[in-house]
Amino acid sequence: MHNKKILIVNTTLDKGGAARVARDLFEHVDDVFDIFFAYGRGEKHFDKKTFKFGNNLEVFIHVFFVRFLGLEGFGSYFSTRKLIGYIKKEKFDLVHLHNLHGYYLNFFTLVAFLKQENIPVVWTLHDEWAITWLPAHSMGCDHCKSGVGICTNTYTYPRNYFPFFARYMLKKKREVFSSGWSPTLVCPSRWLQRNIADSFLGKFDIRVISNGVDINLFAPTTDKDQLKRKYNLPLGKNIVLFSASNLNDASKGIGHIISAAKLLQDKNYLFLCVGGGKIEGRENIKGINYIYDKIKFAEICSIADLCCLASTAETFSLAAVEALSCGVPVVGFDIPVVREIVNDDVGMLVEPSDEKILVRAITYLLDNDRKRNEMGINGRELVVNNYSDKLFYKRYSDLYHEILI
């Protein structure tokens, strides 16, 4: 009897939070399963179990449809047919979908094929995109989930300039996603699970599996000064870490970080901002490009004295878990998803968008070594007990077993 074959599908293989989660599963859940990875964008990898099916021309066309017409899922015909051909050829026993948005896939055609072939599906929802007309986060905007009226959403991914087809897109999603198949939906947080359960996808089996981190890699360091020298960081300054896959994504809060840095310019602090995109240069802000190397990123995390989360939209805060695993307390805005992870024993959360109170929290913890060290110890324990990579892999492996074996 051959090992059950599973195909993971995501926008990219190696960039973004969803890609990191999907790739971890691809590389580590391999006990009785033969796992492959298909993706539409990014550099081509030559691992025999990875398959790039997208092409730049169709991505460009898809971007045009989304941004100027508000139509998503209609610009990647040949790429999607290529993916379907691959699934037919390899005869996968289960398809594990991750992000279907990202200008790379005609997801309506793919879902219709999966229904027709009756292939079991696990669909990990990394955001609210599946239940809105287009945005990855509704930001509390009722129009995003109704497709009616002028959308008041300030969240800009996927970006759109003319929402001509908002009502049509939501109707199409409801028709295609809510009937004719029985996917097992997975959410990384209870908050997202509640939102999905309250939508047209609420009829399906919805599980919560929190994302995990390698607790052996993301661990407290015994010598911060040595690592500071390695990465050319000042020895005498407190390091406040801010990380996001895209620093220019306004919802991640880089604007709040810059404002906080201005208010704290007389302090001996350095705001270390890690991620893609450009940021405003200041004496107390240092930018580092997106780090693909997990070892390097874990070392950067462990250097920090504090991790600052300024997000206004999250469905799971991997940045918080990675920092806590390194024994680094977290300060940030009190949004529901972050509150699921960060309690008062491991960090301080303040009213969203209140930069002055955020600055007070940063100052309080950086001036209070004993409190910060206690929170660091508690944070490490919290992650080991609840968010380790081993638990993450086991929960998904158990789900695969439940469906296939």
- CATH class belonging to 4-212+389-404: alpha beta
Q: Which CATH superfamily is domain 224-386 in?
A: Glycogen Phosphorylase B; (3.40.50.2000)
pLDDT recorded at residue 47: 85
Q: What is the location of CATH 3.40.50.2000 in the chain?
A: 4-212+389-404, 224-386
Rounded Cα distance between 320 and 385, Å, is 15
What is the pLDDT averaged over residues 48-58?
94
Q: Where are the beta strands (DSSP E) in 142-250?
A: 184-187, 205-208, 238-246
What letter would DSSP give residue 240? E
Greater model confidence, 99 or 3 = 99
* 0.75 surpassed by pTM: yes
Going by C-beta distance under 8 Å and a sequence separation of 6 or more, which residues neighbour residue 113? 84, 87
Return the percentage of the chain with pLDDT > 70, whole number: 96
If phi > 0 it is left, if psi is from -120 to 50 it is alpha, else beta; for residue 275 that is left
Query: Buried b / exposed e across 188-199, counting CB within 10 Å, b at 16+?
Result: bbebbbebbeeb
Do 397 and 372 touch, CB atoms closer than 8 A?
A: no
What is the pLDDT averaged over residues 291-312?
92
Greater model confidence, 32 or 175 = 175
pLDDT digits (tens, 9 = 90+) for 227-243: 999 999 999 899 999 99
pLDDT digits (tens, 9 = 90+) for 86-97: 999 999 999 999
Do 35 and 25 touch, CB atoms closer than 8 A?
A: yes
Place 79 in a pLDDT band, splitting at 50, 70 and 90: very high
Rounded Cα distance between 272 and 278, Å, is 13
pLDDT recorded at residue 163: 85
pLDDT digits (tens, 9 = 90+) for 363-400: 999 999 999 999 999 999 999 999 999 999 999 999 99
Place 153 in a pLDDT band, splitting at 50, 70 and 90: low
